[in-house]
Structure 1
Amino acid sequence: MSFSIMRITFSLLFLATATLARANETSLPLIDTTSGLIRGHSAPNRTCVAEFLGIKYAAAPIGELRFAPPNRFTAPSGAFYEASKWPSGLRVWKNFAAQNNNPSSEDCLALNIWTKGPGISAKKPVLVYFHGGRFTIPGPHSPFFSGQYLADTENVVVITVNYRLGIFGFSGAPGATQNVALLDQRSAVEWVRDNIEGFGGDPSRITIFGQSAGGSSVDYWSFAWREDPIVAGLIPQSGTSLSFLPNTKEYSESLWYNVSQASEASSVLACVRAADVVTILAAAAKVPALPTLALPQATFHPTIDNATVFADYEARAAAGRFARVPMLAGNNDFEAGWYKLSAWAARTNLTEAQWDLYDERAFTCPSSYTTKYRVQHGVPTWRYRYFGDWDNLRLYNGTAGLGPRGSGAYHGSELEMVFGTAQGVSGVKNSPTEDAMSKYMMGAWVAFARDPQRGLLADYAWPRYDPAVYLDASHNKTLI
């Protein structure tokens, strides 16, 4: 065969493949939503899953809407959206790093959906994920949280949510609504409730789950919306309302004044709303954090307003002042395995005993108390502790100079198991045992979402949590 014939043959093959791919994309149904007519595309690694990226659930929080509660987005009649691009929140941070100005990048209030066979009549459970990152680091466009594998393996609808971060979500501005990022999360779930049937989801079986700051968001939800929770299940992973102290009103206001002065703008809200986004980010980055023994506390994060965030979570939990929604909660065996890297970079040295105490105070005890109070008030509750330590996800071993232990089951390492993304994230093939663990955790999370009252018991023989008999498998002692 001559080179010219080969070139023509390969060109025709390429065109045929591209045409088939376009045919597959256009064969996906249009979904009618309050955000317009939405068309997705086949997920890159699970082509039987339809992927919808960047669906707007709220108007761009710019101008008068900067630092304000989200304003529900409603598309004009007949509007069409090709849901093929990630939300623009990531560009805020890329542009900031590059010192480029792009005010439109604040238009980040969007969500992503993965589902098999959208438009079918069967109503599937819905899992809505709130990412972590200390309410500062972007997340839902991360390969760690790609919902295609979970949607394919368990035939559920998976959703990740963009919400405002840092000063844009937690400004502390006097007289302004506080914690608008948590209101973003509420707005996104309301959108899901109103639109998810078109994607094959069941609006009566929405479970919200989140990790770290996202886990705290899930628990906050149960207190803020206890009269109207919308959701049927809660899964806080390595974070609850007791995991860290929220900012006081006075401290958050001091942060706001720090930024408004540093950006050469008046402390008047209207002036800061008119300031350049990159200037605001640069000023916020210079605000000193409260020092702690281990790592500095985040600055712009949840603030006590006694509406969305409260000062007395343990008293409220003890009194049962939360939505009586079933809960699956837990944490990893060695969360500090991740934080040791940040401490090393900051030249902070702690003993192994101090790191164990860090784990207990920030993760194990909050999970213990949060679940204990649920049990005391008759809420169906399950608790886990994750011990996975896999070759392709290990950050370092015991010879790396970070102590005698390796990274172990570090903070966030369970996420690749739940989302099924370990091999894609690491680029290294999973072991058979790792695959089995991922399959188990995917199935368990979805069993809970399918039937939060008894799914884990029925499908996995996983008994409800009982603080009186639960044993720590690694230390053979009752967890506090």
Structure 2
Amino acid sequence: MKRVLIFRHYTLSVLSGPCRCSRYTMIVFLLVPFLVLGVTLAQSDGTLVSTVQGPVQGSLISSSVRQWLGIPYASPPTGTLRFQAPQPAPSRAGTLSTTAFGNSCPAILGTEFLLLVGMLQQQESVPVDEDCLNLNIWAPATSRPQGGAVLLWVYGGSYQFGTSNTPYYNGQTFVENFDDIVIVTINYRRSNTSPPSLNIFGFPNAPQQLINIGLLDIDAAIQWVYANIAAFGGDPDRITIFGESAGAIAVDAYAFSHPDDTIVKGQPSYIALFESTSVSTDSASFSASNSSWNTVASALDCGTAGDAAQLACIQAVPWQTLLNEVISSGESFNSYADGQTLFSDVPSRSADGNFLKVPFLVGTNADEGDIFVVAAEQEDFNFTIPVVTTVLSDAITELLANCPASQEAGDRVSAGVPTWRYIFEGVYPDLTDDNPNLRAYHSSEIPLVFGTYEASTFPYAPTSSEIALSSWMQGAWVAFAQDPGTGLANYGWPSYGSLPILDTLAELGNSNNPGGPTYSAAATFDVGCAVVNVLTPVVYDVISFLGVL
């Protein structure tokens, strides 16, 4: 404030004395104290923060929460950096305004899926560009305790789409409702670790660059957060990564590719479909003339040589043109066992405990398959067949969700890792559009975890049990982030044990306790997993025939 008074005194002396200044100059002098005052206020509310790359200006979105949106954590992956590992974000001389979401990465929208969950219009309206490697931060106001535990969210997206610019992923309620927590969400090149994948930007399958670059984006974001989060009121020594669907696969991939990591301290992982088939093929297939990469390259007049000239040619194609060609060709771009981000022997690595041994929280939804089966039926037939929907959905849920989660939790326990497991069972009209074919479907738990159920576009109010369960789940996730080793035990959630007859599996939204957990024996849910290996190929054949996934 002393600086403001000095400027005011100088301005008045200039105006009152003999001066040949223009009217414009006098106006500028008059505005100076107000400009200085604005800078002073921005500094005092903690929204102007210094990062390694330069200062960023965020906003105070409530009396208790600060927010920064669209901060670059890597250089734009454009031009010669397309299909390359992420490079450090460039330094800036000036202050970057971070009051609006950054660009979302190019994606292919699963129309029927998004219609069913009420997010199509929102996903279609976000700004999209190849320059999309950015993140968002929600932190407590400076009047509240600082140095909070960090939860870093990796979104899913049915293996084709996804963005952090989604109302359900807003971190404000997390930070408003709890002290000692900071929320980070990131954008990354679609890093789909399982087929079918129709996006070339995260997994190009290029013979010139056989590495899963989308997963490297997530590595880069974690490194950026570790280097900078203290300036935002976060604790770099308490970073927990969590994700859902393709995001959960990415979180798991990080654990296997960084077994000796010292940055990430906890790993909640919502179910990742196709986990058991998360790697595919060998390098020879990528250089073959009929590979997806060469098919698209040939259509873009870049040839099939698989050399540096071909790569440079595709890097020069506008990203919209490239994406449209991928869509029209129908080619798939899947993950690759590159030996760095993904491995071909994940089951044996898991059984041997060859992964990052940090506390682990894993969960599935009771009816994961509903959304995929109903979406396929609506798209193909414009109607649903209830019996078929239920049978096929239950098979998907059992073989591709529940049983892999059971195996993964068991491997963590065998390795001495503190582990917790849940099954989400809540069904709410505001999340299903009161559709009787949709129960506790894949991704329906996310609004409760983030406390963002009010973002639903359906004309139904959240129920009292939904609100209560959301509060309980948020508290559990915060307790885990604050102290991954014992936080959930202190919260009243018993750790998952090696004996499946013990009541350690948390049923969330069960009719016996719709606003909280009901603890049950895992054996009740896993009894059919012994025959999974026999039935899995059959179920895959049926799913493929119907085009469900």
- The TM-score, its normalising length taken from structure 2, stands at 0.74
> Retained in 2: the 8 A contact 1:331–1:364?
yes
- Which residue number in structure 2 is paired with residue 162 of structure 1? 187
Distance in 2 (CA, whole Å) between partners of 1:467 and 1:301 is: 37
Residue 343 of structure 1 deviates from its aligned partner by: 1.2
Change in CA separation of 1:409 and 1:92 when aligned onto 2, cut-off 3 Å: closer
Q: What is the DSSP-based 3-state SS (H/G/I as helix, E as strand, rest coil) of the residue aligned with 2:218?
A: helix
Q: Which residue of 1 aligns with 2:477?
A: 445
1:425 aligns with 2:486: no
Q: What do residues 286-340 of structure 1 show as CA deviations (whole Å, max 9, x unaligned)?
A: 3436xxxxxxxxx223221111011121111001110111100010000112112
Q: Name whichever of 20-29 and 163-172 sits farther off.
A: 20-29
Q: Which residue number in structure 1 is paired with residue 52 of structure 2?
A: 34
1:48-197 to 2 correspondences below 5 Å: 48-76=64-92, 78-89=93-104, 105-118=129-142, 122-155=146-179, 156-165=181-190, 166-197=199-230
Report Cα offsets for 1:333-354 as digits up to 9, x if no partner. Answer: 0011211232113427745323
Structure 2 match to 1:284:
326
> Are the equivalent residues in 2 in contact too, given 1:444–1:460 (CA < 8 A)?
no
Distance in 2 between residues matched to 1:154 and 1:147, nearest whole Å: 11
SS of residue matched to 1:233: strand
Structure 1 residue runs of 5 or longer lacking an equivalent are: 1-19, 98-102, 290-298, 399-405
- Identify the residue that residue 374 of structure 1 maps to in structure 2: 412
Q: Deviations over 1:106-161 (max 9, x none)?
A: 11000000111259773111000000014420220000101111111123110110
Confirm or deny: 8 A CA contact 2:107 2:161 kept in the other structure: no
Q: Which amino acid in the other structure matches residue 331 of structure 1?
A: T
Mean alpha-carbon deviation: is it higher for 411-420 or for 232-241? Answer: 232-241
Q: Closer, same or farther in 2 for the Cα pair 1:261/1:136, shift >3 Å?
A: same
Q: CA deviation at 1:197?
A: 0.5
- The aligned residue for residue 403 of structure 1 is none
Are the equivalent residues in 2 in contact too, given 1:383–1:465 (CA < 8 A)?
no
Matched, 1:354 2:378: no
- Structure 2 CA distance, aligned partners of 1:314 and 1:229? 23
Whole-angstrom distance in 2 between the partners of 1:92 and 1:331 = 25
Determine the structure 2 residue equivalent to 1:341.
374
C-alpha separation in 1, matches of 2:142 and 2:498:
39
- Seen in structure 2, the aligned counterparts of structure 1 residues 151 and 260 have a Cα distance that, compared at 3 Å, is same
Is residue 2:430 matched to residue 1:392?
A: yes
C-alpha separation in 2, matches of 1:226 and 1:188? 18
Quote how far apart the aligned CAs of 1:423 are: 1.3
How many angstroms apart in 1 are the aligned matches of 2:474 and 2:41?
28
Identity %: 33
Q: What SS does the corresponding residue of 2:431 show, helix, strand or coil?
A: coil
SS in 2 for 1:321: coil
Name the structure 2 match of 1:256: 293
In the TM superposition, what is the alpha-carbon distance from 1:429 to its structure 2 partner? 3.0
Task: Tell me if structure 2 keeps the 8 A contact 1:217–1:240.
Answer: no
Most deviating of 247-256 and 221-230: 247-256
Task: Name the CA shift for 1:116/1:154 in 2 (closer, same or farther; >3 Å).
Answer: same
Native 8 Å contact 2:149 2:481 kept in 1: yes
Displacement of 1:357 after TM fit?
A: 1.2
Asked if the contact 1:240/1:367 (under 8 Å) is kept, the reply is no
Pick the structure with greater CA Rg. 2
- Quote the residue 2:547 is aligned against: none
Distance, in Å, in 1 between the alignment partners of 2:499 and 2:402 is 13
Aligned to 1:7: none
Q: 1:469 aligns with which of 498, 501, 504?
A: 501
Secondary structure of the residue aligned to 2:149 is strand
Distance 2:329 2:150 in 1: 39
2:193: which partner in 1? none
Q: CA deviation at 1:168?
A: 1.1
Contact 1:380–1:453 (Cα < 8 Å) also in 2: yes
Distance 2:255 2:422 in 1: 20
Give CA deviations for 1:398-441 in whole Å, capped at 9, x if unaligned. Answer: 3xxxxxxx311111000000111101224643222111100000
In 1, Cα distance between the equivalents of 2:379 and 2:244?
A: 24
State how far apart, in whole Å, the 2-side matches of 1:119 and 1:304 are: 48
CA distance in 1, matches of 2:396, 2:41: 51
CA distance in 2, matches of 1:164, 1:460: 38
Q: Give 3-state SS (helix, strand or coil) of 1:281's partner.
A: helix
Structure 1 window deviating more from structure 2 (449-458 vs 423-432): it is 423-432
Match 1:328 to one of 326, 337, 361? 361
SS in 2 for 1:305: coil
What is the deviation of 1:284?
1.0
Q: 1:198 aligns with which of 217, 228, 231?
A: 231
Conserved 8 A contact 1:240-1:370? no
SS in 1 for 2:201: helix
Structure 2 residue ranges without an equivalent (≥5):
1-36, 110-119, 121-126, 191-198, 305-309, 511-521, 530-549
Q: 1:119 to 1:228 in 2, by over 3 A?
A: farther
The aligned amino acid for 1:325 is V
| Misfit runs of 4+, over 4 Å | 20-27, 90-94, 118-121, 250-253, 348-351, 470-476
Q: C-alpha displacement at 1:24, in angstroms?
A: 7.4
With over 3 angstroms needed to count, the CA separation of the structure-2 counterparts of 1:117 and 1:68, relative to structure 1, is same
- Secondary structure (helix, strand or coil) at the match of 1:168 reads coil
AA aligned to 1:285 is I
Query: Aligned partner of 2:95: which letter?
Result: F
- Give the AA of the match of 1:33: T
Aligned length: 435
Q: Does 1:316 align with 2:331?
A: no
SS for the counterpart of 1:105 is coil
Determine the structure 2 residue equivalent to 1:228.
Answer: 261
Question: Retained in 2: the 8 A contact 1:211–1:412?
Answer: yes
Please say if residues 220 and 241 of structure 1, whose CA atoms lie closer than 8 Å, have aligned partners that are also in contact.
Answer: no
